[in-house]
Amino acid sequence: MDLHREDKPHIGFFGRCNTGKSTLVNMLAGQNVSIVSQTKGTTTDTVKKTMELFGAGSVVLIDTAGIDDASQLGEKRVEKTMQAFNLTDVSVVIISQNLAGSYEQDLLQKSKERNIPCILVYNKNDECPVNEQTLRFMQQSEADFLILSALDKTDVKQLSELIAAKLNQRERETENVLQNIVKQGDTVVMVTPIDTSAPKGRLILPQVKMIRQALDCHAMCLTVQPDELQQALNSLNRPPKLVITDSQAFEYVNKIVPRSVYLTSFSLLLAKQKGNFNLYAKGLGQIDRLCDGDTVLMLESCTHQPTCEDIGRVKLPAMLKKYTSKQLNCKAVAGLTDNEKDISKVKLVIQCGGCVASMQQLKNRLQPFVSMNIPVTNYGMAIAYMNGIFKRCSEIFFTNG
Ligand code: SF4
């Protein structure tokens, strides 16, 4: 899959059929991404397009099928449209023809529940000017709103500026998570096992991201496999400031890295950068409360071909069963839109680092569990906890801010 495409902020366009969603998406993208016609329900599935949005960088526009689609396949399409909310960082809810009612309320509510910044747009104002009732509806919603015609370039520019402003409010995830931890001239050792679960010929995104962030701090990076870690440490004139390991190698790496050197994992750094670290830390205690037969759900934000050494399907379930000595029902769900059918049976959710997801997408994904008070934690944090080193591995965040 194209990891980098998923890593970009997603803008979801929602509304009834024929409100001009596709025209708006096409105008923003500057090309015909979606088929536009006067026929109701022309967009039958979600369509994604990557574009450069002035002031916000690269984004993915998601054009969705109308939520009032009453055709034979309508139910499936509406389900897909609702799934698109899980991917959405900023939602644009579109109204036209002065039709504003329960459908729009529902879309606004979906955004609100997930804390998704929302823009309400009255479209086709040139064809059917907004009336007082619709204006009141828009004013009473908590969303920012715009009245426009998708065919007017100035109007569309206004929308793109508003989207960019909403995106720029999301600062934490674009911050460098290492910036208060390492400084110019420090050495950072990264431990990246290359086993059968490693992709062929490249590093995975969490590793690439941390190398880049260390370089942005003008630190020196030394990347090794676990077997070479001792040799790498011996070769340095002074100890590294930080060792970042793949969480799977925690037990081994913890024994080698002197206690005076900070140790953490790629997954913990991602949890700190874009996840809800405190929520994840709170969820760790649930590991000790698991009972025979309990369902534990591993959530992975990307879809990758599982291997015999797969972390979410093989290694983490084995560690959990060994640590708890319980017969657990461990399941893995990949991607950002699929979910377990009956989540009420889930006793613990373990989320991966989510390197391909945005902060908002991770929030969207976990929201159904959080709203049902189902404990949630993170891959790396759970592994550190089960190895008795969570305190050590999270020290850097509390010592260095
Ligand atoms: S499983 Fe999660 S952390 Fe690992 S590569 Fe996929 S999205 Fe990134």
Identity of the residue numbered 173: E
Q: Is the pLDDT of residue 306 over 80?
A: no
| pLDDT of the residue at 1 | 34
Q: Is the pLDDT of residue 37 over 50?
A: yes
| pLDDT of the residue at 181 | 92
Q: Is the pLDDT of residue 359 over 70?
A: yes
- Condensed to tens digits (0 to 9), the pLDDT of residues 160-201 reads 999 988 887 765 566 889 998 999 999 999 999 998 778 888
| pLDDT of the residue at 385 | 97
- The pTM for the full model equals 0.74
Residue nearest to ligand 1 atom 6, measured at CA: 302
Q: Is the pLDDT of residue 290 over 70?
A: yes
- Condensed to tens digits (0 to 9), the pLDDT of residues 150-170 reads 778 788 888 999 998 888 776
Q: Is the pLDDT of residue 2 over 50?
A: no
Domains in the chain, please, with CATH? 3-170 (3.40.50.300), 187-270+391-399 (3.40.50.11420), 282-386 (3.40.50.11410)
Query: Residue 120: pLDDT band by 50, 70, 90 thresholds?
Result: very high
User: What is the CA angle 364-50-275, rounded to 5?
Assistant: 30
Is residue 355 within 6 Å of ligand 1 at its C-beta? Answer: yes
Is residue 301 within 6 Å of ligand 1 at its C-beta? Answer: yes
The preferred substitution site among 355, 359, 378 for testing ligand 1, maximizing ligand atoms within 8 Å of CB, is 355
Mean pLDDT of 32-50: 66
Mean pLDDT of 84-105: 93
- Condensed to tens digits (0 to 9), the pLDDT of residues 266-285 reads 999 999 988 899 999 999 99
